[in-house]
Amino acid sequence: MSAESSYYVPAQSRWPIIASIGLFMTAVGAANIINAGSANESTGMSWLVFLTGAFMMAYMLFGWFGHVISESREGLYSAQMDRSFRWGMSWFIFSEVMFFAAFFGALFYVRVLSVPWLGGEGANASTGELLWPGFEATWPLMANPNPELYPGPKALIDPWHLPLLNTVLLVASSVTVTFAHHALKEGKRNALKMWLIATIVLGCVFLFFQGEEYVEAYNDLDLTLESGIYGTTFFLLTGFHGAHVTLGTLMLIIMYFRIRKGHFDKDNHFAFEATSWYWHFVDVVWLGLFFMVYIL
Amino acid sequence: MSAVLDNPIHDEHEHHGPPKGIARWLFTTNHKDIGSMYLWFSFAMFLIGGCMALTIRAELFQPGLQLVEPEFFNQMTTMHGLIMVFGAVMPAFVGLANWLIPMMVGAPDMALPRMNNWSFWILPFAFGLLLSTLFMEGGGPNFGWTFYAPLSTTYAPDTVTYFIFGVHMMGISSIMGAINVVATILNMRAPGMTLMKMPLFVWTWLITAFLLIAVMPVLAGVVTMMLMDVHFGTSFFDAAGGGDPVLFQHVFWFFGHPEVYIMILPAFGVVSQIIPTFSRKPLFGYHSMVYAVASIAILSFIVWAHHMFTVGMPLFGELFFMYATMLIAVPTGVKVFNWVTTMFRGSLTFEAPMLFSIAFVILFTIGGFSGLMLAIAPSDFQYHDTYFVVAHFHYVLVPGAIFGIFAAVYYWLPKWCGNMYSETLAKWHFWMSFVGMNLAFFPMHFLGLAGMPRRIPDYALQFADFNSISSVGAFTFGATQLLFLYLVIQAIRSGKPATDQVWEGAEGLEWTIPSPAPYHTFSTPPEIK
């Protein structure tokens, strides 16, 4: 840390308040849609609020990031500013890790404790006898304690088909994004674009297969959100992961367009690095999912 | 639209004042403006949450149902807790962090000033959403601030959806605020300001921010699980589908226990700044203070189930969480010892910040002891969900967190606005708060030990006397806060000008700059020896 140049303190900005209003409208709209949907009421107005909010958020993201990019390209940022961004992104990813940790924690809890207890194991033996005496604890849980309320799935996704393929795809994409990074550092722009496109394609194919898998789960296997705790944890964990892959892919696409415009050089490309950090993070989460949700 | 104010290489913006009108507050990137907004917002929430508390205490003044319906009473207990935790205490500390951390570490502003503005401006919308549920069909959230499933899922009012989205917004705000604090402390310290030279307020906030980033996402996770259970047919908290309502409590308290330290650690930092000043002695055991705070934070991740001793855990769980909880008494004891030892043989004076700090040390210790009583699993079977628990956490939150905030406001207000507050009025504020607060919460210990359950609008006759005393105390405490509002405004408007040093014994970078602090400080980092 040195006083080599002073830290850039931005002047007033209208983006945060636009972001707040946009976030508020998105949240209110979404809550209205969900509530009206559950009550079978019309959701037209709520969609209007939701989409207006979402549009504001998109406008804000383009505007705000665009502003930061132009400041960065004007050379207003010092090395110290760069470190602020690095700390910011690292801790943001840590917060995402903790978000997934909550869902993994729920998965471990039901597998190790609550499902066996419902089956009459351990100190809570009477739970099984009093509630559903016929219930047998297994994992994956194919027959739920109350099958009328929560009919179990007929079958599960075979981990050695699409999920294995998806694992290969995502791990490969982590490698290609690293190749892209090396190409960027060596100034090989064409190789950079090629590896980046490869990463984006791998991400999109992953998402396509994930969608395929969901269709199969719903149409053929009766594995749904409503099919008890297995479906619950399966869809929430893979679903949030898929949402993060989608976001990561969008970030990569934006990086591609920025590179096409000639942004980044071998010393100054934190946005690209942050995106690749994020991409490695979703990759690691997937490995956790592949082992904990699909295989074991 | 933002542009570069002036050449960032020079110090010209030292002389640049803030823009005028509402635009100043909506678009600001200035840590002092944002700090002020956080503090005023939290005070407004404190008054709203306080009115809810007074509604509760008015109903409980005598046995029987007098003023409100039980359904509304439940909404009041729920909203009072949510507003005070997320709307009053947490934003107040973020406001203090905004004002003080850049000045204490010699930084020109927070590390990410625009995101800082966003962190604040999410909050009025989030709480607008939360409060609006009170006026919706079916009423607001009525399941307690801990919103246990299935009360908050299967049996919840429709407004639970708005509650969930409101909590998500608060979480986004807190996480971004915390990231900003961490980046500022780790990256923006002036040359020579090593980690172990940082003021303790900065240290406690660094650790608090870490806790926030670690557990706010878990809160987001648990409300998301609720949303899925309520609207999308999942069975996280429904045993019929293989889930478990107890799972809710585990995930919630994994967030919830670090959360209660989020509300107290910055107050530890505040009194660690104030007690040395008015003792005219350096803080005793600086290093041990830092290690104690870090230990408390680490332990906070492995004690959550002491909130759920009666839920039916295996014996091993009961014992593990009991002993782990008791371990926290060790670093907390180190801190109390150090504060007392700092005062020992010091040249003490008793201005308002010091009075609140001393009350903090004594009364927080009482809250700590009742916490130890609750930590003993076999005895907790007796206390669980009684007024003893209410007494315990109000003793750590009111004379703990809130007195910490009052102390901080009195201590740094002259630096913020350039004027002294009226010491006479401040002493009135202190003594009225002190008496009112003890009158309100001390009898609750006896009520709880005698078996009065919490969150109940009516009670058996034998609890009547203590309840009426408690209500008198609560109204005394509540009314006194209007005096606080008055005296703060009076100080800002017409207080006597303060010196730059303000307090004779005060040390730290914030006292080296003029009072009131200029709009931009430390554009060029100071040199720390």
One DSSP character per residue, A182-242 reads HHHHTT-HHHHHHHHHHHHHHHHHHHHHHHHHHHHHHHTS---TTSHHHHHHHHHHHHHHH
Q: How far apart are CA B459 and CA B439, in angstroms?
A: 19
Residue B5 located in a structural domain: no
Beta carbons within 8 Å of A68's beta carbon, 6+ residues apart: none
Of B178, B247, B520, the CB nearest to A110: B247
| Cα nearest neighbour of A33 on chain B | B161
Q: Which of B297, B290, B200, B61 is nearest to B507 (CA)?
A: B200
- A45, A69 Cβ separation under 8 angstroms: no
Of A9, A87, A106, the CB nearest to B251: A106
Q: Is A139 on the interface with B (CB under 8 A)?
A: no
Q: Clarify whether B385 is annotated catalytic.
A: no
Whether A39 sits inside 8 A of B26 (CB atoms) is no
Q: Which domain holds residue B274?
A: 264-451+465-517
Neighbours of B64 (CB within 10 A): 10
ipTM value of the model? Answer: 0.95
Q: Is A125 on the interface with B (CB under 8 A)?
A: no
Residue A14 pLDDT exceeds 70: yes
**Average pLDDT value for chain A:** 94
Q: Clarify whether B173 is annotated catalytic.
A: yes
Signed CA dihedral, A68, A74, A79, A81: sign only: negative
Residue B344 located in a structural domain: yes
Q: How far apart are CA B19 and CA B500, in angstroms?
A: 25
Q: Clarify whether B307 is annotated catalytic.
A: yes
- Read off the pLDDT of each residue in B86-114 and give the average, rounded to a whole number: 97
**Looking at residue B500, what DSSP letter applies?**
S
Q: How far apart are CA B89 and CA B408, in angstroms?
A: 13
Percent of chain B with pLDDT over 90: 94
Tell me the DSSP string of A42-109: --HHHHHHHHHHHHHHHHHHHHHHHHHHHHHHTT---HHHHHHHHHHHHHHHHHHHHHHHHHHHHHHH
Segment A180-219, tens digit of pLDDT: 999 999 999 999 999 999 999 999 999 999 999 999 999 9
Whether B241 sits inside 8 A of A28 (CB atoms) is no
- Read off the pLDDT of each residue in A5-11 and give the average, rounded to a whole number: 83
Q: What are phi and psi of B499, to 5 degrees?
A: -80, 170
Given B28, B77, B152, B174, the catalytic residue: B174
- B83, B45 Cβ separation under 8 angstroms: yes
Q: Which of B170, B169, B136 is nearest to A30 (CA)?
A: B169
Signed CA dihedral, B456, B462, B464, B467: sign only: negative
Of A15, A37, A145, the CB nearest to B114: A15
Q: Clarify whether B109 is annotated catalytic.
A: yes
Nearest CA-CA distance, residue A113 and chain B, Å? 10
Nearest CA-CA distance, residue A127 and chain B, Å? 10
- B32, B99 Cβ separation under 8 angstroms: yes
Residues of A in contact with B28 (CB under 8 A): 12
**According to the model, what pLDDT value does residue B16 have?**
59
Nearest CA-CA distance, residue A109 and chain B, Å? 7
Residue B7 located in a structural domain: no
- Into how many domains does chain B fold? 1
**According to the model, what pLDDT value does residue A125 have?**
66
Q: How far apart are CA B207 and CA B215, in angstroms?
A: 12
- B331, B297 Cβ separation under 8 angstroms: no
Q: Is B243 on the interface with A (CB under 8 A)?
A: yes
Residue B317 pLDDT exceeds 50: yes
Q: Is A219 on the interface with B (CB under 8 A)?
A: no
Q: Which of residues 73-92 of A touch B (CB under 8 A)?
A: 76, 80, 83-84, 87-88, 91-92
Q: Is A130 on the interface with B (CB under 8 A)?
A: no
Q: How many residues can be counted in chain A?
A: 296
Residue B46 located in a structural domain: no
- Read off the pLDDT of each residue in A141-145 and give the average, rounded to a whole number: 94
Whether B217 sits inside 8 A of A229 (CB atoms) is no
| Cα nearest neighbour of A116 on chain B | B242
- B129, B169 Cβ separation under 8 angstroms: yes
Residue B78 located in a structural domain: no
Residue B13 located in a structural domain: no
Signed CA dihedral, B154, B157, B161, B165: sign only: negative
Neighbours of A247 (CB within 10 A): 12
Whether B2 sits inside 8 A of A103 (CB atoms) is no
Q: For testing the chain B interface, which of A78, A91, A132 should be mutated: the one with the most B CBs within 10 Å?
A: A91
Whether A232 sits inside 8 A of B217 (CB atoms) is no
Residue B15 pLDDT exceeds 60: no
Q: Is B164 on the interface with A (CB under 8 A)?
A: yes
Whether B183 sits inside 8 A of A141 (CB atoms) is no
Q: For testing the chain A interface, which of B187, B207, B304, B520 should be mutated: the one with the most A CBs within 10 Å?
A: B187
Q: Is A264 on the interface with B (CB under 8 A)?
A: no
Q: Name the band, by pLDDT with cuts 50, 70 and 90, for residue A130.
A: confident
Whether A105 sits inside 8 A of B240 (CB atoms) is no
**According to the model, what pLDDT value does residue B528 have?**
85
Q: How far apart are CA A264 and CA A188, in angstroms?
A: 12
Q: Which of A225, A44, A274 is nearest to B232 (CA)?
A: A225
Q: Clarify whether B13 is annotated catalytic.
A: no
Residues of A in contact with B129 (CB under 8 A): 24, 27-28
Nearest CA-CA distance, residue A77 and chain B, Å? 10
Whether A16 sits inside 8 A of B225 (CB atoms) is no
| Cα nearest neighbour of A123 on chain B | B314
| Cα nearest neighbour of B33 on chain A | A12
Residue B238 located in a structural domain: no
Residue A4 pLDDT exceeds 90: no
Segment B195-208, tens digit of pLDDT: 999 999 999 999 99
Whether B118 sits inside 8 A of A19 (CB atoms) is yes
Half-sphere exposure (CA, 13 Å, Cβ side) for B267? 30
Q: Is A228 on the interface with B (CB under 8 A)?
A: yes
Query: In B379-463, at which residue ranges do the beta strands (DSSP E only) sit?
Result: none
Q: Name the band, by pLDDT with cuts 50, 70 and 90, for residue A5.
A: low
Segment A53-70, tens digit of pLDDT: 999 999 999 999 999 999
Nearest CA-CA distance, residue B38 and chain A, Å? 15
Whether B217 sits inside 8 A of A15 (CB atoms) is no
Which CATH number covers residue B274? 1.20.210.10
Segment B486-501, tens digit of pLDDT: 999 999 999 999 999 9
Residue B365 pLDDT exceeds 90: yes
Peptide bond just before A140 cis, omega within 30 deg: yes
Segment A150-182, tens digit of pLDDT: 999 999 999 999 999 999 999 999 999 999 999
Buried-state track B153-187, b at ≥16 Cβ within 10 A, e below 16: beebbbbbbbbbbbbbbbbbbbbbbbbbbbbbbbb
Q: Clarify whether B168 is annotated catalytic.
A: no
How many inter-chain contacts (A to B, CB under 8 Å) are there?
A: 251
Residue B107 located in a structural domain: no
Q: How far apart are CA B253 and CA B303, in angstroms?
A: 9
- A183, A192 Cβ separation under 8 angstroms: yes
**According to the model, what pLDDT value does residue A6 have?**
77
Residue B178: both structure tokens together: 């915390």
Whether A17 sits inside 8 A of B117 (CB atoms) is yes
Q: Name the band, by pLDDT with cuts 50, 70 and 90, for residue A127.
A: confident
Given B13, B250, B280, B454, the catalytic residue: B454
**According to the model, what pLDDT value does residue B12 have?**
41
